[in-house]
Amino acid sequence: MHVFLGITGASGAPYAARLLEALGAAGCEVGVCASRAGIEVLATELYGDARLSPDETMARFLEHGLLGNGGSATTLYDQQDWRAPYASGSAKVDAYVICPCSMGTLGTIASGAMSNLIHRAASVALKEGRKLVLVPRETPLSDIHLDNMLRVRRAGAVVLFAAPGFYHGAQTVDDLVDFVVARCLDHVGVEHALTRRWGQE
């Protein structure tokens, strides 16, 4: 499968890292693009240093892809790279995931505006009728957030809130991360064994 992974500036970097690992492990070709705020959140939440340079942050982040497919099928794109395949519907892409998805990016997608490759990729997914999974994290939610989520949902996106459940016997933070990532993979259509499914022994 060919998957676009957009990373924006909402809390939830561990979800993005685990998702990249799982996509790599499943043998997916993955195009990664992070917004400026997204890179800052990765640096803060994964590496404990908000001042880590963007290049170093992304180099470290892409190592998560190495855990799966050797990294050969993971490519990093700049957020202003309009020549990237994800900027056009003519490129063959199976699914688009924005994880984590800030309310800023969600609102931009809902408005139809496109000021970076992540917005553009989401817009392409919607206009082409392809799978788009958005993983927002914010609380509490304003009327504007709720309106925007309804708007993208009605346009065809899956709004998969970063809201892990506790009913599968989570013991660790990693288990909670896996819960959300597993639901993402289900919607993207990638096989995984990250969590036990409800009703399974």
Ligand X SMILES: Cc1cc2nc3c(=O)[nH]c(=O)nc-3n(C[C@H](O)[C@H](O)[C@H](O)COP(=O)(O)O)c2cc1C
Residues 6+ apart with CB under 8 A from 114: 108, 120, 123
Nearest to 98 by CA among 182, 162, 173: 162
Nearest to 24 by CA among 58, 60, 63, 76: 63
Residue 41 C-beta: closest distance to ligand X, Å? 5
Residue 109 C-beta: closest distance to ligand X, Å? 10
103-122 residues in contact with ligand X (CB under 6 A) are: 103-105
Name the residue number minimizing CB distance to ligand X.
9
25 binds ligand X (CB under 6 A): no
48-87 residues in contact with ligand X (CB under 6 A) are: none
Residue 131 C-beta: closest distance to ligand X, Å? 20
Return the number of the residue (5 or 41) whose C-beta is nearest ligand X: 41
Per-residue DSSP letters for 30-74?
A: EEEEE-HHHHHHHHHHHHS-TTS-HHHHHHHHHHHHHHHHTTTTE
CA 62 to chain centre: 14
Token reading at 135? 């993983």
44 binds ligand X (CB under 6 A): yes
Return the number of the residue (11 or 75) whose C-beta is nearest ligand X: 11
Contact set with ligand X (CB under 6 A): 8-11, 35, 37-38, 40-41, 44, 102-105, 137-138
